[in-house]
């Protein structure tokens, strides 16, 4: 299993590299090679590292370990066909981890990044509604049960297309250079990760690779049903292409606009969930 | 706090060993996936950071500059 975990991390980083390359090509820039994020992780791991004197050293180090740990847990929940609710919980924990990254450093840039991470929690509410719609259709939140439902009734992307759009929006909000990436905005230098450099940043890159792999794999499993490994990997590449186009052609929004749009999407999703509840389970 | 290169190397090898052994035990059916996962959740992050510390630290001096501006 450790081999799968390491390969998933590397593939996630490769997907982030493809994402960066595509954004650059769409914007008529040459862009970095697709394996740049893997090189990035290795580069940071060779840099000199220390803990800033303004930082809370225990939290500063622990938050990197927690970031890798929670996405390792999410990977195993996915592999074991566990509950979607646990993955949702881990996704929420990631918000707390981002906040911890920002606060632990003692840097104002990091702190603002952490605070923005909290206010961008609005992006998670469509995820709750998506999960509720899936539960209405499948009567379960176990990934195995969701896959079995789709084997009988067809992919959920057809039956619950708005829920898929909402979850896509949630994944988009987690992608770098996206319209909702307010936690990493340039006016905050690197946002919550400003002071985490060297080995700490390399650890964060490992966590980002795993996070990207898990989020895309969960999306494909929940909305397309059982996929063999080649189809899963192909689907993830296609999904990252779609995400790259979305990121490349939309500017980064201000925090206020970002939260407003996500709140509006939540409102629409609540209306959709109410309709589904009345029609599917009257 | 200062950490010796040899110490982080030991932490890395111990962590890598625990991860490999737990994977092996899972594949032979001796432990369930949940136990293997719990071990990896706890050990994998420490192993990754220990690996980075190990190959980043120089041979001379021996100590990793771990704190302070």
Q: Tell me whether residues B45 and A46 touch, CB distance under 8 A.
A: no
User: What are A8-52's pLDDT values in tens digits?
Assistant: 999 999 999 999 999 999 888 888 888 888 988 888 888 777 777
Give the contacts of A236 (CB within 8 A, at least 6 positions apart).
Answer: A11, A15, A213, A216, A217, A220
Q: Which residue of A has its CA nearest to B15?
A: A2
User: What are A116-162's pLDDT values in tens digits?
Assistant: 777 777 667 777 788 888 888 888 888 888 888 888 888 888 888 88
A41 neighbourhood in chain B, CB within 8 Å = none
- Does B56 lie at the interface with A, CB-CB under 8 angstroms? yes
Q: Tell me whether residues B69 and A79 touch, CB distance under 8 A.
A: no
pLDDT of residue B62 exceeding 50, the answer is: no
Q: Tell me whether residues A45 and B37 touch, CB distance under 8 A.
A: no
* Residue percentage of chain A with pLDDT more than 90: 22
pLDDT of residue A169 exceeding 50, the answer is: yes
- Identify the domain containing residue A86 by its residue range: 2-280
pLDDT of residue B65 exceeding 60, the answer is: no
Identify whether the C-beta of residue A280 lies closer than 8 Å to the C-beta of residue A136. Answer: yes
Q: Tell me whether residues A76 and B37 touch, CB distance under 8 A.
A: yes
Q: How many domains does chain A have?
A: 1
Cα A193 from Cα A19, distance rounded (Å) = 20
Q: pTM for this structure? A: 0.88
User: What are A42-92's pLDDT values in tens digits?
Assistant: 888 887 777 777 777 788 888 899 999 999 999 999 998 888 888 888 888
Q: Tell me whether residues B64 and A72 touch, CB distance under 8 A.
A: no
B55: nearest CB among A45, A51, A72 = A45
Per-residue b/e over A100-114, b at no fewer than 16 CB within 10 Å? bbbbbbebebbbbbb
């Amino acid at each position: 299993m450790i081999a799968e975990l390491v390969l998933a991390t590397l593939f996630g980083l490769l997907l982030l590299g493809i994402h960066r390359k595509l954004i650059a090509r769409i914007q008529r820039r040459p862009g970095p090679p697709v394996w740049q994020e893997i090189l990035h992780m290795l580069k940071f791991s060779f840099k000199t590292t220390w803990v800033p004197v303004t930082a809370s050293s225990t939290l500063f180090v622990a938050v990197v370990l927690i970031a890798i740990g929670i996405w390792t847990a999410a990977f195993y929940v996915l592999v074991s066909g566990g509950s979607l609710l646990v993955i949702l919980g881990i996704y929420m924990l990631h918000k707390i981890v981002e906040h911890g990254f920002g606060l632990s450093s003692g840097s104002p840039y990091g702190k603002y990044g952490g605070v923005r991470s909290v206010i961008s929690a609005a992006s998670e509410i469509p995820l709750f509604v998506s999960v509720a719609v899936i539960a209405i259709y499948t009567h379960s939140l176990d990934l195995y049960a969701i896959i079995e439902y789709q084997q009988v009734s067809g992919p959920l992307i057809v039956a619950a297309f708005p829920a898929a759009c909402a979850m896509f929006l949630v994944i988009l909000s987690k992608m770098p250079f996206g319209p909702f990436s307010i936690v990493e905005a340039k006016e905050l230098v690197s946002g919550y990760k400003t002071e985490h450099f060297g080995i700490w940043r390399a650890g964060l890159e490992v966590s980002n690779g795993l996070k990207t792999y898990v989020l895309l794999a969960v999306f494909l499993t929940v909305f397309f049903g059982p996929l063999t490994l080649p189809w899963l990997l192909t689907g993830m590449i296609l999904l990252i292409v779609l995400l790259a186009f979305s990121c490349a052609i939309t500017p980064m929004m201000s925090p206020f606009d970002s939260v407003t749009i996500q709140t509006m999407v939540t409102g629409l999703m609540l209306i959709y969930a109410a309709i589904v509840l009345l029609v599917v389970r009257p | 706090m200062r950490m010796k290169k040899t110490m982080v190397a030991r932490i890395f090898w111990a962590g890598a060993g625990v991860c490999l052994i737990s994977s092996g035990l899972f594949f032979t059916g001796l432990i369930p996936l949940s136990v293997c996962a719990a071990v990896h959740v706890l050990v994998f992050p420490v192993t990754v950071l220990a690996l980075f510390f190990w190959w980043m630290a120089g041979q001379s001096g021996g100590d990793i500059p771990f704190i302070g501006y």
